Structure 1
Amino acid sequence: MNEQSYDEAYRKWRASLATLLADASLLAHWQERRYQFAHRVGALLTEPQADGIATAGPVLYGVFASGAGLCYVGQTQEAERRLRDLPVGESHHLANTVPPELWERVVVIRWPLLLPAAPAEERSLAAEIGLSVCGLALEHLLQVKTAPPLNSRRRRATGDWQPRNLAHSRSRGAVHSQSMPGLGELTLAAWAELSEAEAPTHSAVVDIKIGRVVFPSALHETSAN
Protein backbone atom coordinates (compact mmCIF):
# COMPACT_ATOMS: atom_id res chain seq x y z
CA MET A 1 0.00 0.00 0.00
CA ASN A 2 1.45 3.37 -0.98
CA GLU A 3 1.28 6.44 1.25
CA GLN A 4 -1.66 7.96 -0.63
CA SER A 5 -3.74 4.78 -0.28
CA TYR A 6 -2.75 4.52 3.38
CA ASP A 7 -3.86 8.09 4.07
CA GLU A 8 -7.16 7.46 2.28
CA ALA A 9 -7.78 4.33 4.38
CA TYR A 10 -7.04 6.35 7.52
CA ARG A 11 -9.56 9.04 6.49
CA LYS A 12 -12.20 6.37 5.86
CA TRP A 13 -11.50 4.88 9.30
CA ARG A 14 -12.01 8.27 10.95
CA ALA A 15 -15.18 8.89 8.93
CA SER A 16 -16.58 5.48 9.94
CA LEU A 17 -15.91 6.22 13.61
CA ALA A 18 -17.54 9.65 13.26
CA THR A 19 -20.68 7.90 11.95
CA LEU A 20 -20.65 5.29 14.72
CA LEU A 21 -20.23 7.98 17.41
CA ALA A 22 -22.55 10.59 15.91
CA ASP A 23 -24.63 11.11 19.06
CA ALA A 24 -24.80 10.03 22.70
CA SER A 25 -26.99 6.98 22.08
CA LEU A 26 -24.67 5.73 19.34
CA LEU A 27 -21.70 6.24 21.64
CA ALA A 28 -23.39 4.10 24.28
CA HIS A 29 -24.14 1.41 21.68
CA TRP A 30 -20.51 1.52 20.54
CA GLN A 31 -19.30 1.11 24.11
CA GLU A 32 -21.66 -1.80 24.76
CA ARG A 33 -20.89 -3.61 21.53
CA ARG A 34 -17.14 -3.34 21.87
CA TYR A 35 -17.10 -4.45 25.49
CA GLN A 36 -19.44 -7.35 24.75
CA PHE A 37 -17.06 -8.61 22.09
CA ALA A 38 -13.94 -8.08 24.22
CA HIS A 39 -15.60 -9.75 27.21
CA ARG A 40 -16.49 -12.78 25.11
CA VAL A 41 -12.92 -13.11 23.85
CA GLY A 42 -11.58 -12.80 27.40
CA ALA A 43 -13.99 -15.47 28.62
CA LEU A 44 -12.94 -17.87 25.86
CA LEU A 45 -9.30 -17.31 26.77
CA THR A 46 -9.77 -18.08 30.46
CA GLU A 47 -12.92 -20.04 31.28
CA PRO A 48 -13.19 -23.86 31.19
CA GLN A 49 -14.05 -25.26 27.78
CA ALA A 50 -14.91 -28.82 26.72
CA ASP A 51 -11.97 -30.25 28.68
CA GLY A 52 -13.15 -28.52 31.84
CA ILE A 53 -9.80 -26.78 32.40
CA ALA A 54 -9.67 -23.03 33.08
CA THR A 55 -6.65 -21.00 31.98
CA ALA A 56 -4.92 -19.78 35.12
CA GLY A 57 -1.45 -19.17 36.50
CA PRO A 58 1.68 -18.78 34.37
CA VAL A 59 1.27 -18.74 30.58
CA LEU A 60 2.88 -17.43 27.43
CA TYR A 61 0.58 -15.85 24.87
CA GLY A 62 0.72 -14.40 21.38
CA VAL A 63 -1.78 -12.37 19.37
CA PHE A 64 -2.10 -12.68 15.60
CA ALA A 65 -4.01 -10.10 13.53
CA SER A 66 -5.70 -10.67 10.21
CA GLY A 67 -3.19 -9.60 7.57
CA ALA A 68 -0.34 -8.48 9.83
CA GLY A 69 0.24 -11.92 11.38
CA LEU A 70 1.89 -12.21 14.79
CA CYS A 71 1.75 -8.82 16.51
CA TYR A 72 2.66 -9.39 20.14
CA VAL A 73 4.11 -12.01 22.49
CA GLY A 74 3.78 -11.75 26.26
CA GLN A 75 3.74 -13.72 29.49
CA THR A 76 1.88 -13.49 32.76
CA GLN A 77 1.78 -15.26 36.08
CA GLU A 78 -1.95 -14.53 36.38
CA ALA A 79 -3.60 -15.70 33.19
CA GLU A 80 -7.04 -15.64 34.79
CA ARG A 81 -6.74 -11.86 35.17
CA ARG A 82 -4.35 -10.77 32.43
CA LEU A 83 -5.97 -12.65 29.56
CA ARG A 84 -9.41 -11.34 30.49
CA ASP A 85 -8.06 -7.82 30.31
CA LEU A 86 -6.04 -8.36 27.13
CA PRO A 87 -8.91 -7.65 24.66
CA VAL A 88 -10.46 -5.00 26.91
CA GLY A 89 -7.27 -2.97 27.10
CA GLU A 90 -7.75 -1.28 30.47
CA SER A 91 -4.24 -2.19 31.67
CA HIS A 92 -2.70 -3.52 28.46
CA HIS A 93 -1.74 -1.41 25.46
CA LEU A 94 -2.29 -4.01 22.75
CA ALA A 95 -6.04 -3.51 22.24
CA ASN A 96 -5.47 0.25 21.90
CA THR A 97 -3.33 -0.35 18.82
CA VAL A 98 -4.82 -3.53 17.35
CA PRO A 99 -8.59 -3.81 18.06
CA PRO A 100 -9.63 -7.32 19.12
CA GLU A 101 -12.20 -7.31 16.30
CA LEU A 102 -9.20 -7.72 13.98
CA TRP A 103 -7.47 -10.47 15.96
CA GLU A 104 -7.25 -13.67 13.93
CA ARG A 105 -6.10 -15.89 16.81
CA VAL A 106 -4.66 -15.79 20.32
CA VAL A 107 -2.25 -18.58 21.25
CA VAL A 108 -1.83 -19.50 24.92
CA ILE A 109 0.83 -21.94 26.21
CA ARG A 110 0.53 -23.43 29.70
CA TRP A 111 4.30 -23.70 29.84
CA PRO A 112 4.67 -25.15 33.40
CA LEU A 113 3.14 -28.34 31.97
CA LEU A 114 6.28 -28.65 29.83
CA LEU A 115 8.65 -28.72 32.83
CA PRO A 116 8.42 -32.49 33.52
CA ALA A 117 9.85 -33.18 30.04
CA ALA A 118 12.72 -30.68 30.45
CA PRO A 119 16.24 -31.80 31.46
CA ALA A 120 16.72 -32.30 35.20
CA GLU A 121 19.18 -29.43 35.53
CA GLU A 122 16.71 -27.05 33.90
CA ARG A 123 13.94 -28.17 36.24
CA SER A 124 16.28 -27.45 39.16
CA LEU A 125 17.09 -24.02 37.73
CA ALA A 126 13.40 -23.22 37.27
CA ALA A 127 12.77 -24.15 40.92
CA GLU A 128 15.69 -21.95 41.98
CA ILE A 129 14.81 -18.80 40.04
CA GLY A 130 11.03 -19.20 40.36
CA LEU A 131 8.21 -19.35 37.86
CA SER A 132 8.16 -15.58 37.39
CA VAL A 133 11.73 -15.32 36.10
CA CYS A 134 11.35 -18.57 34.18
CA GLY A 135 8.31 -17.09 32.41
CA LEU A 136 10.31 -13.99 31.51
CA ALA A 137 13.09 -16.20 30.10
CA LEU A 138 10.68 -18.11 27.87
CA GLU A 139 8.96 -14.89 26.81
CA HIS A 140 12.33 -13.47 25.75
CA LEU A 141 13.23 -16.62 23.83
CA LEU A 142 9.91 -16.59 21.98
CA GLN A 143 10.15 -12.86 21.21
CA VAL A 144 13.65 -13.27 19.76
CA LYS A 145 12.53 -16.27 17.71
CA THR A 146 9.39 -14.65 16.28
CA ALA A 147 10.24 -10.89 16.33
CA PRO A 148 6.69 -9.54 16.86
CA PRO A 149 6.54 -5.91 15.67
CA LEU A 150 4.86 -4.57 18.82
CA ASN A 151 7.61 -6.06 20.99
CA SER A 152 10.37 -4.81 18.72
CA ARG A 153 9.99 -1.09 19.42
CA ARG A 154 9.43 1.08 22.48
CA ARG A 155 7.73 4.45 22.78
CA ARG A 156 9.84 7.50 23.47
CA ALA A 157 8.91 10.68 25.31
CA THR A 158 9.53 12.59 22.08
CA GLY A 159 6.46 11.00 20.47
CA ASP A 160 8.23 8.53 18.21
CA TRP A 161 9.47 4.95 18.48
CA GLN A 162 12.88 3.43 19.18
CA PRO A 163 13.85 -0.03 17.88
CA ARG A 164 14.61 -2.67 20.53
CA ASN A 165 17.43 -5.11 19.94
CA LEU A 166 15.87 -8.08 21.73
CA ALA A 167 18.79 -10.38 20.95
CA HIS A 168 21.19 -8.08 22.86
CA SER A 169 18.95 -7.53 25.86
CA ARG A 170 20.49 -7.95 29.32
CA SER A 171 17.18 -8.28 31.13
CA ARG A 172 16.65 -11.04 33.70
CA GLY A 173 14.64 -13.01 31.19
CA ALA A 174 17.30 -12.68 28.50
CA VAL A 175 20.10 -13.77 30.84
CA HIS A 176 18.28 -16.89 32.06
CA SER A 177 16.87 -17.87 28.66
CA GLN A 178 20.32 -19.07 27.60
CA SER A 179 20.34 -21.57 30.47
CA MET A 180 17.14 -23.35 29.39
CA PRO A 181 17.71 -24.74 25.89
CA GLY A 182 15.69 -27.89 26.52
CA LEU A 183 12.67 -26.11 27.94
CA GLY A 184 13.05 -23.55 25.19
CA GLU A 185 12.81 -26.22 22.50
CA LEU A 186 9.74 -27.69 24.16
CA THR A 187 8.17 -24.24 24.26
CA LEU A 188 8.90 -23.56 20.60
CA ALA A 189 7.42 -26.92 19.63
CA ALA A 190 4.25 -26.14 21.60
CA TRP A 191 4.13 -22.71 19.97
CA ALA A 192 4.41 -24.21 16.49
CA GLU A 193 1.63 -26.71 17.19
CA LEU A 194 -0.77 -24.12 18.57
CA SER A 195 0.01 -21.26 16.18
CA GLU A 196 -0.60 -23.52 13.18
CA ALA A 197 -3.81 -25.10 14.49
CA GLU A 198 -6.78 -24.96 12.14
CA ALA A 199 -9.87 -23.07 13.26
CA PRO A 200 -12.67 -25.55 14.04
CA THR A 201 -15.86 -25.36 12.01
CA HIS A 202 -18.36 -24.92 14.84
CA SER A 203 -16.22 -23.43 17.59
CA ALA A 204 -13.88 -20.53 18.26
CA VAL A 205 -11.54 -22.52 20.54
CA VAL A 206 -8.98 -25.28 20.14
CA ASP A 207 -8.02 -26.66 23.55
CA ILE A 208 -5.27 -29.18 24.20
CA LYS A 209 -3.36 -30.06 27.35
CA ILE A 210 -0.44 -27.70 26.78
CA GLY A 211 -2.54 -24.72 25.76
CA ARG A 212 -5.38 -23.10 23.93
CA VAL A 213 -6.06 -21.18 20.74
CA VAL A 214 -8.95 -18.74 20.56
CA PHE A 215 -10.14 -17.41 17.19
CA PRO A 216 -11.79 -13.98 17.69
CA SER A 217 -12.24 -13.79 13.91
CA ALA A 218 -14.74 -16.64 14.18
CA LEU A 219 -16.82 -14.62 16.66
CA HIS A 220 -17.02 -11.41 14.70
CA GLU A 221 -19.92 -12.14 12.38
CA THR A 222 -22.05 -13.81 15.06
CA SER A 223 -21.41 -11.01 17.55
CA ALA A 224 -22.38 -8.44 14.95
CA ASN A 225 -25.84 -9.97 14.46
Structure 2
Amino acid sequence: MDDQTYEDAYRDWRDSLATLLGDASLLGRWQERRYRFAHGVGALLTEPYGESAAMTGPVLYGVFAGGAGLCYVGQTQEAERRLRDLPVGESHHLANTVPPELWERVVVIRWPLLIPSAPADEQSIAAETGPQVCGLALEHALQVATAPPLNSRRRRTTGDWQPRNLAQSRSRGAVRAQSLPGLSALVLAAWHACAAVEAPDGAGVVDTGAGRVVFPSALHETFAG
Protein backbone atom coordinates (compact mmCIF):
# COMPACT_ATOMS: atom_id res chain seq x y z
CA MET A 1 0.00 0.00 0.00
CA ASP A 2 1.46 3.38 -0.98
CA ASP A 3 1.38 6.37 1.38
CA GLN A 4 -1.52 8.09 -0.38
CA THR A 5 -3.73 4.99 -0.26
CA TYR A 6 -2.86 4.59 3.41
CA GLU A 7 -3.79 8.21 4.18
CA ASP A 8 -7.04 7.87 2.21
CA ALA A 9 -7.94 4.76 4.21
CA TYR A 10 -7.20 6.60 7.46
CA ARG A 11 -9.46 9.50 6.44
CA ASP A 12 -12.22 7.05 5.47
CA TRP A 13 -11.93 5.45 8.92
CA ARG A 14 -12.22 8.81 10.64
CA ASP A 15 -15.18 9.82 8.46
CA SER A 16 -16.96 6.54 9.22
CA LEU A 17 -16.52 7.04 12.94
CA ALA A 18 -17.74 10.62 12.66
CA THR A 19 -20.94 9.27 11.07
CA LEU A 20 -21.38 6.57 13.69
CA LEU A 21 -20.89 9.14 16.49
CA GLY A 22 -22.96 11.83 14.85
CA ASP A 23 -25.11 12.64 17.89
CA ALA A 24 -25.69 11.50 21.46
CA SER A 25 -28.14 8.75 20.53
CA LEU A 26 -25.74 7.34 17.92
CA LEU A 27 -22.93 7.45 20.48
CA GLY A 28 -25.04 5.35 22.83
CA ARG A 29 -25.89 2.92 20.06
CA TRP A 30 -22.20 2.65 19.16
CA GLN A 31 -21.24 2.00 22.76
CA GLU A 32 -23.90 -0.68 23.15
CA ARG A 33 -23.05 -2.45 19.92
CA ARG A 34 -19.34 -2.55 20.59
CA TYR A 35 -19.79 -3.88 24.10
CA ARG A 36 -22.27 -6.53 22.96
CA PHE A 37 -19.72 -7.75 20.46
CA ALA A 38 -16.77 -7.64 22.87
CA HIS A 39 -18.81 -9.35 25.57
CA GLY A 40 -19.75 -12.09 23.10
CA VAL A 41 -16.12 -12.67 22.18
CA GLY A 42 -15.18 -12.81 25.84
CA ALA A 43 -17.92 -15.37 26.49
CA LEU A 44 -16.65 -17.62 23.69
CA LEU A 45 -13.15 -17.38 25.11
CA THR A 46 -14.07 -18.29 28.67
CA GLU A 47 -17.35 -20.18 29.01
CA PRO A 48 -17.76 -23.97 28.80
CA TYR A 49 -18.16 -25.25 25.26
CA GLY A 50 -19.57 -28.68 24.44
CA GLU A 51 -17.77 -31.14 26.68
CA SER A 52 -14.91 -28.69 27.34
CA ALA A 53 -14.70 -26.93 30.68
CA ALA A 54 -14.67 -23.20 31.20
CA MET A 55 -11.36 -21.49 30.53
CA THR A 56 -9.74 -20.77 33.90
CA GLY A 57 -6.30 -20.47 35.41
CA PRO A 58 -2.99 -20.16 33.51
CA VAL A 59 -3.11 -19.86 29.71
CA LEU A 60 -1.20 -18.46 26.78
CA TYR A 61 -3.20 -16.53 24.21
CA GLY A 62 -2.73 -14.75 20.92
CA VAL A 63 -4.78 -12.61 18.56
CA PHE A 64 -4.69 -12.87 14.76
CA ALA A 65 -6.04 -10.23 12.36
CA GLY A 66 -7.10 -11.04 8.82
CA GLY A 67 -4.33 -9.16 7.04
CA ALA A 68 -1.59 -8.73 9.63
CA GLY A 69 -1.70 -12.31 10.91
CA LEU A 70 -0.56 -12.88 14.47
CA CYS A 71 -0.55 -9.51 16.23
CA TYR A 72 0.01 -10.22 19.91
CA VAL A 73 0.93 -13.04 22.31
CA GLY A 74 0.32 -12.87 26.05
CA GLN A 75 -0.14 -15.00 29.14
CA THR A 76 -2.29 -14.81 32.23
CA GLN A 77 -2.81 -16.73 35.44
CA GLU A 78 -6.51 -15.82 35.44
CA ALA A 79 -7.98 -16.73 32.08
CA GLU A 80 -11.51 -16.30 33.40
CA ARG A 81 -10.82 -12.59 34.00
CA ARG A 82 -8.17 -11.63 31.47
CA LEU A 83 -9.77 -13.23 28.42
CA ARG A 84 -13.10 -11.53 29.13
CA ASP A 85 -11.37 -8.19 29.32
CA LEU A 86 -9.17 -8.77 26.26
CA PRO A 87 -11.76 -7.68 23.65
CA VAL A 88 -13.25 -5.00 25.93
CA GLY A 89 -9.90 -3.30 26.43
CA GLU A 90 -10.53 -1.74 29.83
CA SER A 91 -7.20 -2.97 31.21
CA HIS A 92 -5.53 -4.25 28.05
CA HIS A 93 -4.12 -2.10 25.26
CA LEU A 94 -4.65 -4.56 22.41
CA ALA A 95 -8.29 -3.71 21.62
CA ASN A 96 -7.36 -0.03 21.40
CA THR A 97 -5.01 -0.75 18.50
CA VAL A 98 -6.66 -3.75 16.84
CA PRO A 99 -10.47 -3.62 17.32
CA PRO A 100 -11.99 -7.03 18.10
CA GLU A 101 -14.35 -6.61 15.15
CA LEU A 102 -11.27 -7.19 12.98
CA TRP A 103 -9.88 -10.20 14.85
CA GLU A 104 -9.71 -13.25 12.60
CA ARG A 105 -9.09 -15.71 15.43
CA VAL A 106 -7.95 -15.91 19.04
CA VAL A 107 -5.85 -18.91 20.07
CA VAL A 108 -5.71 -19.98 23.72
CA ILE A 109 -3.45 -22.75 25.06
CA ARG A 110 -4.08 -24.39 28.44
CA TRP A 111 -0.38 -25.07 28.89
CA PRO A 112 -0.60 -26.84 32.30
CA LEU A 113 -2.34 -29.72 30.50
CA LEU A 114 0.83 -30.25 28.45
CA ILE A 115 3.16 -30.64 31.42
CA PRO A 116 2.57 -34.42 31.85
CA SER A 117 3.89 -34.91 28.28
CA ALA A 118 7.07 -32.91 28.93
CA PRO A 119 10.39 -34.53 29.89
CA ALA A 120 10.49 -35.64 33.52
CA ASP A 121 13.17 -33.13 34.50
CA GLU A 122 11.12 -30.29 33.03
CA GLN A 123 8.04 -31.44 34.92
CA SER A 124 10.06 -31.04 38.10
CA ILE A 125 11.35 -27.64 37.02
CA ALA A 126 7.83 -26.47 36.23
CA ALA A 127 6.61 -27.62 39.64
CA GLU A 128 9.49 -25.90 41.44
CA THR A 129 9.18 -22.72 39.39
CA GLY A 130 5.45 -22.30 39.91
CA PRO A 131 2.79 -21.33 37.37
CA GLN A 132 3.49 -17.59 37.33
CA VAL A 133 7.15 -17.75 36.29
CA CYS A 134 6.52 -20.84 34.16
CA GLY A 135 3.81 -18.93 32.30
CA LEU A 136 6.21 -16.04 31.70
CA ALA A 137 8.82 -18.49 30.42
CA LEU A 138 6.45 -20.10 27.94
CA GLU A 139 5.15 -16.70 26.86
CA HIS A 140 8.71 -15.61 26.13
CA ALA A 141 9.49 -18.78 24.17
CA LEU A 142 6.32 -18.39 22.13
CA GLN A 143 6.99 -14.72 21.43
CA VAL A 144 10.52 -15.49 20.24
CA ALA A 145 9.23 -18.29 17.99
CA THR A 146 6.40 -16.25 16.44
CA ALA A 147 7.66 -12.60 16.62
CA PRO A 148 4.24 -10.91 16.96
CA PRO A 149 4.65 -7.23 15.96
CA LEU A 150 2.86 -5.74 18.97
CA ASN A 151 5.25 -7.56 21.30
CA SER A 152 8.30 -6.63 19.27
CA ARG A 153 8.55 -2.98 20.25
CA ARG A 154 7.64 -0.74 23.17
CA ARG A 155 6.25 2.74 23.48
CA ARG A 156 8.58 5.55 24.52
CA THR A 157 7.72 8.71 26.43
CA THR A 158 8.91 10.70 23.42
CA GLY A 159 5.88 9.51 21.45
CA ASP A 160 7.61 6.98 19.23
CA TRP A 161 8.51 3.30 19.44
CA GLN A 162 11.63 1.35 20.35
CA PRO A 163 12.30 -2.13 18.92
CA ARG A 164 12.59 -4.98 21.44
CA ASN A 165 15.06 -7.79 20.89
CA LEU A 166 13.04 -10.58 22.48
CA ALA A 167 15.75 -13.17 21.91
CA GLN A 168 18.24 -11.17 24.01
CA SER A 169 15.87 -10.46 26.89
CA ARG A 170 17.15 -11.19 30.40
CA SER A 171 13.71 -11.12 32.03
CA ARG A 172 12.66 -13.81 34.52
CA GLY A 173 10.66 -15.52 31.82
CA ALA A 174 13.51 -15.46 29.31
CA VAL A 175 15.97 -16.92 31.80
CA ARG A 176 13.62 -19.70 32.89
CA ALA A 177 12.60 -20.52 29.30
CA GLN A 178 16.09 -21.90 28.68
CA SER A 179 15.38 -24.77 31.09
CA LEU A 180 12.03 -25.71 29.50
CA PRO A 181 12.78 -26.51 25.83
CA GLY A 182 10.64 -29.65 25.72
CA LEU A 183 7.58 -28.02 27.26
CA SER A 184 8.07 -24.98 25.02
CA ALA A 185 8.12 -27.28 21.98
CA LEU A 186 4.85 -28.91 23.10
CA VAL A 187 3.27 -25.48 23.51
CA LEU A 188 4.48 -24.37 20.09
CA ALA A 189 3.10 -27.53 18.45
CA ALA A 190 -0.30 -27.02 20.10
CA TRP A 191 -0.18 -23.38 19.04
CA HIS A 192 0.52 -24.16 15.38
CA ALA A 193 -2.25 -26.77 15.36
CA CYS A 194 -4.79 -24.25 16.67
CA ALA A 195 -3.52 -21.51 14.35
CA ALA A 196 -4.24 -23.78 11.37
CA VAL A 197 -7.79 -24.79 12.38
CA GLU A 198 -10.46 -23.73 9.90
CA ALA A 199 -13.51 -21.83 11.11
CA PRO A 200 -16.44 -24.22 11.51
CA ASP A 201 -19.75 -23.50 9.80
CA GLY A 202 -22.26 -21.93 12.15
CA ALA A 203 -19.98 -21.91 15.20
CA GLY A 204 -17.38 -19.57 16.58
CA VAL A 205 -15.36 -22.02 18.69
CA VAL A 206 -13.14 -25.06 18.23
CA ASP A 207 -11.92 -26.61 21.49
CA THR A 208 -9.22 -29.29 21.41
CA GLY A 209 -8.87 -29.72 25.15
CA ALA A 210 -5.38 -28.26 25.45
CA GLY A 211 -6.34 -25.42 23.12
CA ARG A 212 -9.27 -23.30 22.10
CA VAL A 213 -9.73 -21.25 18.94
CA VAL A 214 -12.36 -18.52 18.82
CA PHE A 215 -13.48 -16.89 15.56
CA PRO A 216 -14.97 -13.46 16.39
CA SER A 217 -16.27 -13.03 12.82
CA ALA A 218 -18.93 -15.63 13.65
CA LEU A 219 -20.57 -13.03 15.91
CA HIS A 220 -20.99 -10.20 13.41
CA GLU A 221 -24.48 -11.22 12.31
CA THR A 222 -25.52 -12.19 15.84
CA PHE A 223 -24.77 -8.75 17.19
CA ALA A 224 -25.73 -6.67 14.14
CA GLY A 225 -27.81 -3.57 14.60
- Supply the distance in 1 between the matched residues of 2:169 and 2:196 (Cα, whole angstroms): 28
Q: CA deviation at 1:222?
A: 3.1
- Is this contact kept in 2: 1:51–1:207, CA < 8 A? no
Structure 2 gaps, min length 5: none
SS in 1 for 2:139: helix
Equivalent runs, 1:160-179 vs 2, <5 Å: 160-179=160-179
Partner of 1:129: 129
Q: Hey, what does 1:55 align to over in structure 2?
A: 55
- SS of equivalent to 2:18: helix
Aligned equivalents of 1:51, 1:104: Cα separation in 2: 24
TM superposition outliers: structure 1 runs of 4+ over 6 Å: none
The within-5 A match list for 1:110-149 is 110-149=110-149
Letter in 2 for 1:42: G
Which position in structure 2 is the counterpart of 1:78? 78
Give the drift of 1:179: 0.5
In 2, Cα distance between equivalents of 1:87 and 1:39? 7
Pair 1:9–1:107, CA change in 2 (3 A): same
State the alpha-carbon separation in 2 of the partners of residues 54 and 153 from structure 1.
33
What SS is found at the alignment partner of 2:149? coil
| Alignment correspondent of 1:31 | 31
Counterparts of 1:146 and 1:179, CA distance in 2: 19
| TM-score of the pair, normalised by structure 1 | 0.99
Q: Deviations over 1:170-212 (max 9, x none)?
A: 0000001111111011111100111101110120000111010
- Structure 1: gaps (5+ residues): none
- Decide whether the 8 Å contact of 2:56 with 2:78 is kept in 1: yes
Once the two structures are TM-superposed, the CA of residue 92 in structure 1 deviates from its matched residue by 0.2
Q: Which residue of 2 aligns with 1:104?
A: 104
Q: For 1:10-21, what aligned pairs fall within 5 Å after superposition?
A: 10-21=10-21
Equivalent residue for 1:158?
A: 158
Task: Give the whole-Å Cα distance in 2 for the aligned partners of 1:9 and 1:197.
Answer: 31
In structure 1, C-alpha distance between the alignment counterparts of 2:60 and 2:51, rounded to whole Å: 20
For normalisation by structure 2, the TM-score amounts to 0.99
